[in-house]
Amino acid sequence: MEPLISARNIKKHFDVGEGILKAVDGLSFDIYPGETFGLVGESGCGKSTAGRTIIRLYDPTDGELFFNGKNVYDLSRREMQEVRKDFQMIFQDPYASLNPRMTVEELVSEPLDIHHAYKNHKDRKDKVIELLELVGLNEEHAMRFPHEFSGGQRQRIGIARALALNPKFIVADEPISALDVSIQAQVVNLLKDLQDQFGLTYMFIAHDLSMVRYISDRVGVMYLGHMMELAPSEELYENPLHPYTKALLSAIPIPDPEIQRSRKRIMLEGDVPSPINPKPGCRFVDRCAQATDICRKETPVFEEKRPNHFAACHNVK
């Protein structure tokens, strides 16, 4: 199958004065139409920056991103405007991502306004109501302000806004991590339903490994701007190759006290090193139990170790 999106060696560096912060440092992966691509990693590993760079909210330092056979990073402002309709984003914080001075109708219709995607006032209103109903809200919510809604409802408003232009690809940047646990499932199921209904492709960024397993077809594991491992969901959770993935998975609690008590957790020593001016070699080397000399000298290549199972580790053959 042709990938919908092909990322090749994407980099995003920030000049922070005391050095170069390499938030994303060479990501390559494909996302296929209709699938959900999960991206996990701990806080500060560059997940969100990766998501924002992919939809070109940040201008990349380097790399190529192919969509419909074109390199999105080469597009002019006007051409980019067209691609924007296909790329959408759902933000992490449903409180911060909705302008408090706008009504729900204004919020949801903003993408329509920007792209002049309606014929007249009534057409616009109809579209807004249609979108609200799609996410389980209704007409009476249209004239309300964001502060009148709960977190879950706000996130659904954000989803309605992202759907307004019939996008093909949506980056969901930790869409549930700011929500109450009881609401998380509601939002995730809504995302799944919408995916089935419209054939959407998601990039789902999260740090909740069990939730990612539930929603994703394939999962990528990031650490300090590098992709460490990438595999189909079941494969990654059953047969992790990279020591970092193994450590992460061992941290998922199992809802059975017997097993939970007896199993061995892989504890990570030390802190996440600074992403400013990183040393050469494997990014994970300081915290890896299996690190050898070569890990310190050479950055391991991210390659296909098993069929459809990629990893970047010298010790995995």
Partner 1 sequence: MDNNLSSIKDLSPDLFQPALKEDRDSDRIRRPSIKYWPDVWRRLKQNRLAMVGLSIIIIMLFMSIFGPLFNKFSYYEQNYDLINNHPDTVHWFGTDELGRDLFTRVWFGARYSLIIGVLAATIDFIIGVIYGGLSGMATRRIDNIMMRIAEVVYSIPYLLIVILLSVAFSSEGAGTSMFVLILAMTLTDWVPMAILVRGQVLQLKESEYSLAAESLGASKGWILRKHIIPNTMGPILVNITLTIPRAIFAEATLGFLGLGFQAPRSSLGSLANDGLAGIAVGNAYQIIIPALFISLIMFAFNVLGDGLRDALDPRLRK
149 lies in the binding site for partner 1 (CB under 8 A)? yes
148 lies in the binding site for partner 1 (CB under 8 A)? yes
What's the DSSP call for residue 276?
A: B
How far, in Å, CA of 200 to CA of 31, rounded? 12
What residue has token string 């389980």? 136
Q: List phi, psi (to 5°) of 19.
A: 160, -165
The distance of closest approach from Cβ of residue 148 to partner 1 in the complex, given in angstroms and rounded to an integer, is 6
84 lies in the binding site for partner 1 (CB under 8 A)? yes
46 lies in the binding site for partner 1 (CB under 8 A)? no
Q: List phi, psi (to 5°) of 29.
A: -165, 165
The distance of closest approach from Cβ of residue 97 to partner 1 in the complex, given in angstroms and rounded to an integer, is 4
Under 8 Å between Cβ of 39 and 205: yes
Question: Residues 7, 55, 183, 224: which binds partner 1 (CB under 8 A)?
Answer: 55
Partnered with residue 199 across adjacent β-strands are none
How far, in Å, CA of 294 to CA of 271, rounded? 21
Report the candidate in 256, 252, 223 with the shortest Cα–Cα distance to residue 238.
252
161 lies in the binding site for partner 1 (CB under 8 A)? yes
115 lies in the binding site for partner 1 (CB under 8 A)? yes
The three-class DSSP label of residue 97 is coil
The three-class DSSP label of residue 272 is coil
Question: Residues 8, 11, 85, 127: which binds partner 1 (CB under 8 A)?
Answer: 85
CA torsion 150→155→157→159, rounded to 10°?
A: -160
92 lies in the binding site for partner 1 (CB under 8 A)? yes
With respect to partner 1, which residue has the nearer C-beta, 101 or 264? 101
202 lies in the binding site for partner 1 (CB under 8 A)? no
How far, in Å, CA of 38 to CA of 248, rounded? 15
The distance of closest approach from Cβ of residue 11 to partner 1 in the complex, given in angstroms and rounded to an integer, is 20
**Span near partner 1 by CB under 8 A; candidates 38-46, 148-156, 228-236, 248-256:** 148-156
The distance of closest approach from Cβ of residue 48 to partner 1 in the complex, given in angstroms and rounded to an integer, is 11
Which stretches of the chain bind partner 1, using CB under 8 A?
Answer: 52, 55, 57, 80-81, 84-85, 87-89, 91-93, 96-102, 110-111, 114-115, 136-138, 140-141, 143-145, 148-149, 153, 158, 161, 165
